[in-house]
Every structure is written in structure tokens, then in C-alpha cells.
Amino acid sequence: MRRRLLRFAVPLALLGLVATACSNNSSGGSSGGSTASGPACPADVKVGLALDVGGLGDQSFNDAANRGLQQAIADGLVCESNVKLVPANAAGSNLDSNIQALASAGYNYVEGVGFSFSPGVCKVATDFPNTDFAVVDGYTAYIKGCKQPNVLDLNFSANESSYLVGIAAAMQAQKDGSSTVGFLGGQTGPLIQSFQAGYQAGVASVDPTMKVLIEYIGDSTQAFVNPTAGKALSEKMYSEGADVVYHAAGLSGAGLFQAAAEKSKYAIGVDSDQYLTASAAEQKWIITSALKRVDTATYATIKAVGDNSFKSGVQLFNLANDGVGFATSNTTLLTPDMVDAMEAAQKKIIDGTVTVPTTPPKS
């Protein structure tokens, strides 16, 4: 495929097009034609996703990226035979080599599904100027010497969606006569702290005196794949009085849902609508989830690659363009008064009346 020279901004009409689809793990071919569901697909578009630790089944950003890819296949943006998903090893030590392998194999678009891919993409992209690269939660734009015409950071205002679920958490706690909620983070650092900051601000908007317990699992990417630690820290917060715990911990968040069901306490999911993938016993305790629409971002970028409008730099997905939001599946727990309060806050964030912090308050 020829080098793309046009610029790209995700059209608002694309946001919300992505629907849940089945998982797929196909190696690339070269022939065009039609997908199993019918529409014609381009022979010259090849898409490779390098997954982060946790892989498919993480009920988080890896699964979300795959949903975007599967929808792109269903809509004929890429042939099923021209896609490949490459898992990370348990330690996450092969991220760079996976990116390199996909580019070397001739994939036109290579996506690293997680911020840890940023340094590696910076290095690999210079050797493959005719390949478009993107990084979910990427920070390549802030790495010296990495502003290249074939590298895009897919960023999300997770602090905004976290603010909204913070409102739900505080309102649930008030209904239960509690003055404490909790936050479970995966890896320490600025990315997950933005979730924490938004959540704390949302809680404070309902009740400035409400206590927010904070626990982080670790300081490496392994913190996102440790459900045992996630459960133990969630149980700790519940025992210390937390009525609701919100997690931003990837696969480790599965431990939160287990603890919530066992302790008959409330939980809030992240990234995807985790009510839909939880067990029946866990579902009754999941109020909502803070959505980060990685599926939308993946789909939109694949479309841009196909129509030669890929743009490098940073693409921000936020409340204003439906790039983040909150889930409404559990209509039993997420009551109309909660939804009204969250939607009112969403309008204020979009119009600039409310500015959501990205860094937590100093303790």
C-alpha cells in the first residue's frame, strides 16, 4: 500500500459504530475478497495487533481492541485472512519483538495495545516508514525524537469517565449509610493515577467528606495480571469500611468482582462493560463500568489506514466525542437518579463548567 499523505481526525460519526463481535486469531494472507459475513474487503490492507500482558480474555483493553478489529472485519474494512493477533508473554518482555515481527511480515497497520509499547514503537517505526503504527494509551509524542509521520498515540480521557462512576459510587454509599469507598489501581504511575484522580473528584462532588481508600497492586505491568492480589486488596478495603470499590487494574480486577460477590459489597468495572462478562453471582454487585472505547479507536484507525487518511500525532477520545463513558447494563443498581446525576455532570464536563483533574490530590 502506498504511503499515506492525508491527515486524519476521527469523525464523530464513527464513534459508537463498533459493536461486540467474536474473537479471532488469524494469520495474514494476501488475497482480497469478502468476509464470512459478506462485504467485500481490500486485498492490500493487513492489520496486526500486538496484545499487552493478559491477552484475550482480560475483559479489558485487549478484548476491546479485538472487538474493534472484529467489527472492522465484519464491515469489510480488512479481510479476515489479513489480520493477526500476537499475544505478549507472561512477563511482557517480548512487546518490542512482536511489533518488529508484525512490521517485518508486511502488516500495513500495527497497533500496540498498551502504553508499554511506546518506546519500542518509536524504535521500530523508523525502520518501517511505510507501516502505520499506533499505541493505545501511548506516550510516543513525549519521547524525544519520536515525532514520526507514521506513529499515532490513541489517548483517552479516562479521568472523565472515572469522575462519572465516582458519582455513582458515592451515591450508592450514601444510600447504604456509608462514608467510605475504595479505588484499586494496577500499576503505579501517571496513567492509572488519572483514573484515581477523576474518581476521587467525582466522589467529592457528591460528598466532599467521603473517604476514598486507595490501593495499588504493583509497579510493573504484572500488576495488571494478578487477580489474587486484586482480590486480597479489595477484601482489605471492604474490611476497612469501603461500600464500593472501583478498579483500574486490567485482569487483576477479576479479583475485585470475586471479593464483592463474597463480601456482598459493590464494585465498579473499567474499560469495557464488565457486567456483561461477569458471573451471575458477580453481576448483582457491579453497579456500572467506566468505559474506555478502545474498540472505537481501533476501528476508526483501521478505517483511516484503509482510506489513506491516517494521521500521526495524538488522537484524544473523551466525553465530547463519545470516546469514554459509562455502562448502563445493571438497571437494578444503576438507578435513574444516579444516571441523571452522571449525565448532568457529563454535560458540565463537555461544556467546560467542570474540569476533571488528572493527578490525585496530595494526601
- State yes or no: pLDDT of 332 exceeds 80: yes
DSSP string, 15-52: TT----------------EE-TTS-EE-TT--EEEE--
Tens of pLDDT, residue by residue over 190-231, are 999 999 999 999 999 999 999 999 999 999 989 999 999 999
As a whole number of angstroms, the distance between CA 231 and CA 249 comes to: 11
Strands 286-292 and 132-136: unpaired
Residue 137 phi/psi, 5° resolution?
60, 30
Alpha carbons within 13 angstroms on the beta-carbon side of residue 232 total 7
The burial class, CB within 10 Å (0-12 / 13-18 / 19+), for 332 is exposed
The closest alpha carbon to 71, from 324, 296, 293, belongs to 296
Q: Structure pTM?
A: 0.84
- Element holding 132 (H helix, E strand): strand 132-136
CB under 8 A, 24+ apart: contacts of 101-104: 102/48, 102/50, 103/48, 103/127, 103/128, 103/131, 103/133, 104/128
The CA-CA-CA angle for residues 291, 167, 173, to 5°, reads: 120
Residue 214 β-bridge partners: 183
141 vs 21: which has the higher pLDDT = 141
Beta bridge partners of 218: 187
Instruction: Give the domains, in start order, of the chain with CATH numbers.
Output: 12-156+294-321 (3.40.50.2300), 158-292+331-351 (3.40.50.2300)
111-161 pLDDT tens trace? 999 999 999 999 999 999 999 999 999 999 999 888 899 999 999 999 999
Range in 137-146, 153-162, 167-176, 254-263 with the lowest mean pLDDT: 137-146
Opening angle at CA 98, ends 97 and 103, nearest 5: 95
| Through-space distance between the first and last CA atoms of the chain, rounded to whole angstroms | 53
